Amino acid sequence: MYHKMMKRHILLGILLFIGVLGALGQETASLDAVTGASRKVDSTEVAVRDSVSPKKGKRQGKFIIGGYGEATAKYCFYSNNYLRYGKNPDKYAKDHYGEVDLPHVVIFLGYNFVRGWSIGTEIEFEHGGTESAVEIEEEEGGEYEQEVERGGEVALEQFWVQKAFNQYAIIRAGMQVIPVGGLNAHHESTEYFGVYRNEGEFTIIPSTWHEVALTFMGSSPKGWHYQVMFLPGLDSDRFNRKNWIKPGAGSPYEFKLANVFAGAARVDYTGVKGLRLSLSGYCGNSFRNTLSKTNAELDLSAYKDVKGTVSIGAFDFKYQDYGLILRGGITYGHLSDAAMITQYNISMRKGSVSSKQWVASDAIAAGIEAGYDFFSLNPTLSNKRRMFYVFGRYDYYDSMFRYDNRPTDMYAWCGRHRAAVGVNYFPIPQVAIKAEFSYGILKNGTRADGTRGKIYNDEPQIAIGIVYAGLYEL
């Protein structure tokens, strides 16, 4: 009965997507972008445009509106029971489940004033809700708990004011995206082939990572683009085993603590036709950037030298030409004093914001995807700006890549390989219908009887979605 209901829900989701597609069938005027990538919501190109006073008689100022979003459905041929990574995972091997979701719905509003001044705001609705939910807590016997990812009813992902002196020198201040890794810099729904965001980076670092920051950025005519940012540090109390430092970017309070600070930078090279090469990184302390308190009996003198420095380095690239898109990248992160932070977090008193879990000293995520547009072989379809990509993707990631004082295989389930194949159909450049089959291969380890082999069940799933991304000037 359960499986019949899930299949019925997925069928209804497919019909809904077809109906939405029909409503979106009419092409609308937009910026000149293939798959919404040429001019991003937070791109330097948009920022620089009209950075100097326009000539007399020309319109002064432009209103910009846009956004992106996804409606998705998936059926997972594995269990979502909170004990599926416990001592007896085979008990849940035959459990399956389905989901429908609105992972991200984002509205962007901006305005380019005269003399290089501009503003931008972006409001995000995650999962069709208000960033609060009930979850089954793995660490407390499967109890139901209220989860609050961030204070407030909606997520204000961007809110900045900017001054462009010229294309080489731009200053931006306010809430903005931290472009560390390929996913954060290119997170719009049409900028990746999968139905959902790429699992690797999405798992170990914040996505979309946004902070109140001060940014210096610019571009050169030869294809170099740079961003240098100063921002508050992360909160090590919220780090955990499954997502490494990712939860430390949020705040359960109505404000973000800034007891420690960090820096981030990104450099892109686009001087070769169809090619983008990018390097990005982050470095900052994270310990005691919180209001939480430990149990009174803990000897805090042992932690006087703990800094919890988070260092992240990433390389990502994209090549697009001749109907082919090739994208990929690798992200590696290190957390100093990881064992001490783990000990400190586990000592947190009941009711604290800490997950009280082990956290790794090192985490890694790497992935590559390739897709070919078969409509590019037909001039008629290509001239109508329609695209049909067949793609494949491979990921490897591990949120507990290295950690101290525990058996090597205790958190083997945190690392996995993932392979996916699917299609992306673009009836217009701003809208895509996606279908995907993926297979998560969990790492081998040492079984209870001492032999090496598979400990946890693999995780295959099918998913479909309809997405949009666009930016328009009025």
Is residue 17 within a helix (H) or strand (E), and if so which, with residue range?
helix 2-23
Max CA pair span of the chain: 81
* pLDDT at site 85: 86
* pLDDT at site 11: 45
* Pick from 252, 275, 264, 127: nearest CA to 184: 264
Q: Which CATH architecture has domain 2-473?
A: Beta Barrel (2.40)
Torsion sign, CA atoms 216, 217, 220, 221: negative
Cα–Cα distance between 259 and 43 in angstroms, integer?
30
Length of the chain: 474
Torsion (CA) 296, 309, 201, 367 in degrees, nearest 10 = -140
* pLDDT at site 303: 87
- The residues, ordered by sequence, that sit 6+ positions from 323 with a Cβ below 8 Å of its Cβ are 372, 373, 374, 376, 377
**Mean pLDDT split into 10-residue runs, the chain, 474 residues:** 44 40 35 33 41 42 91 95 83 91 93 92 82 59 58 75 96 96 95 95 94 96 96 93 92 84 97 97 92 69 90 98 97 96 86 85 97 95 92 97 73 92 97 98 71 82 96 87
Tokens of 26: 């009419």
* pLDDT at site 406: 62
- Cβ-count burial of 397 within 10 angstroms (0-12 exposed, 13-18 middle, 19+ buried)? buried
Cα–Cα distance between 366 and 198 in angstroms, integer?
10
DSSP category for residue 205 = S
* Pick from 70, 69, 72: nearest CA to 9: 72
Task: Indicate the pTM of the whole model.
Answer: 0.83
Cα–Cα distance between 303 and 337 in angstroms, integer?
10
* pLDDT at site 256: 83
Residue with tokens 């290509």: 382
